[in-house]
Amino acid sequence: MHQLRRALLALFLVILLGTIGFYFLGNDWTLLDALYMTIISISTTGFKEVRPLSEIGKIFTIIIIIMGVGTIAYSGGRGVQLLIETQLFGRRRMNKKVQELKNHYIVCGFGRMGRYICEELKHSKVPFVVIEQEEAKVEILKEMDYLYVQGNATIDETLVRAGIERAKGLVAVLTNDAENVFASLSAKVLNPKVFVVARAVQEETESKLKKAGADRVVKPYEIGGTRMANLLIRPGVVEFIDVVALGKNFDLTLEEVIVSPHSALIGKTLAESPLRKDLNIMIVAIFRKDGQFIYNPKSSVTIQKGDRLIAIGEGSNLPKLNQLCLGEVKSIGQSA
């Protein structure tokens, strides 16, 4: 970019020099005449000069032609170089960043729902990559500085480029239900452990998506209708859910964390853990590996390896809970 600016500046100076030179060397030439002579000289268009040139004027014209042609060639070369670097090397940098992703999420489709999903993932500060085929939407992804892979999300090669083998989850919100079924099936074949959430517009598609491997199926019309009905009947409950789930207006968030085998929380009761007394975090539910579900667990419940803790707390403290559960720290303020 810096070299291109220098080339354009040099071209401007040649035009300026030529205009001034022709103005003073010519006989009663106007500035427009001088500019016209400069442009037709450096562009080598071959139009006839405005007025006959003197010997000095002819020599000056030769100099301007040589300088102009050289500067235009240099500017064009720098422009092509910049275009190649932007398109080719920019794509390489993007592919490298995608290849470095681990335990990330893949968003298949960047329509209206896909954009909302990306905004929420970005707000949650989790790594993700978008698969999109349409050129216009890819340009939007570039402007928003999202990691993306351009291609068809129903094709195995595209999913592999998005790192499906290393992905933690995938959400399929493509143009139609058939594409969502194929994307879910392909994702599960390539990575059986990936957690797949898919959208279903038609009622009969839900069973097909589940057979294709989708772990969860979301029906937007059903969810939208339920939410509107709840807003009419129990608006306070909906507002509370918005606060804890979406973090609206308050630094309060609902989070799910898995207790790893290295966590210092294993074997401790909720009362003995620092969750409530130090982090002001409430555990509202626990999902055990054996399928047991504990709602509103008592303080005497012991935390076990593999527990999925559903927690409510301040957004600034929940990352500390995640570190405790992963075993990255032994206690609050102490590294592992």
Residue 234 lies inside a defined structural domain of this protein? no
Q: Looking at 96, 124, 149, which one is the last position of a domain? A: 96
108 beta partners: 131, 172
Query: Would you state the structure tokens that stand for residue 206, as one six-digit string?
Result: 């839900």
Q: Which residue has the higher pLDDT, 108 or 17?
A: 108
* Orientation angle between helical segments 2-25 and 55-84, nearest 10 degrees: 170
pLDDT tens sequence across 37-78: 778 777 777 666 667 776 787 788 788 878 877 787 777 777
Say if CB 287 and CB 308 are below 8 A apart.
yes
Range of the domain at 60: 2-96
What is the CATH number for 64?
Answer: 1.10.287.70
- Kindly state the average pLDDT of the residues 5-16: 79
For residue 136, tell me if it sits in a domain.
Answer: yes
Which of 223, 241, 261 is where one domain is finished?
Answer: 223
pLDDT band at 2 (very low <50, low <70, confident <90, very high): low
Mean pLDDT on 130-152:
92
Handedness of CA 204, 133, 106, 144 (dihedral sign): negative
Q: Are residues 105 and 219 in the same domain?
A: yes
Number of compact structural domains in the chain: 3
Helix (H) or strand (E) holding 322: helix 318-326
For residue 25, the model assigns a pLDDT of 76
Express each pLDDT in 226-265 by its tens digit. 888 988 898 888 887 777 666 656 667 888 889 999 898 9
Residues 204, 115: one domain? Answer: yes
Is 87's pLDDT higher than 70? no
Tell me: pLDDT of 136 over 80.
Answer: yes
Does residue 133 sit in helix, strand or coil?
coil
Surface-to-core class of residue 160, CB atoms within 10 Å of its CB (0-12 exposed, 13-18 middle, 19+ buried): middle
Provide, rounded to the nearest whole percent, the portion of the chain with pLDDT above 90: 41
Would you say 188 and 213 are in contact if contact means Cβ atoms under 8 Å apart? yes
- Residue 125 token pair: 């500060």
Instruction: Determine, yes or no, domain membership for 144.
Output: yes
Please indicate, yes or no, if residue 326 is contained in any of the structural domains.
yes
Nearest CA among 54, 53, 34, 31 for reference residue 42: 34
- Domain with 287 in it: what CATH number? 3.30.70.1450
pLDDT confidence tier of residue 164, bands split at 50, 70 and 90 = very high
Residues 55 and 109 in one domain: no
Domain final position from 74, 96, 118: 96
- Of how many residues is the chain composed? 336
What is the per-residue pLDDT for 252?
76
Mean pLDDT of all residues in 73-84? 70
- Beta-carbon contacts of 213 under 8 Å, excluding residues fewer than 6 positions away, are 184, 185, 187, 188, 189, 192, 196
73 lies in the same domain as 133: no
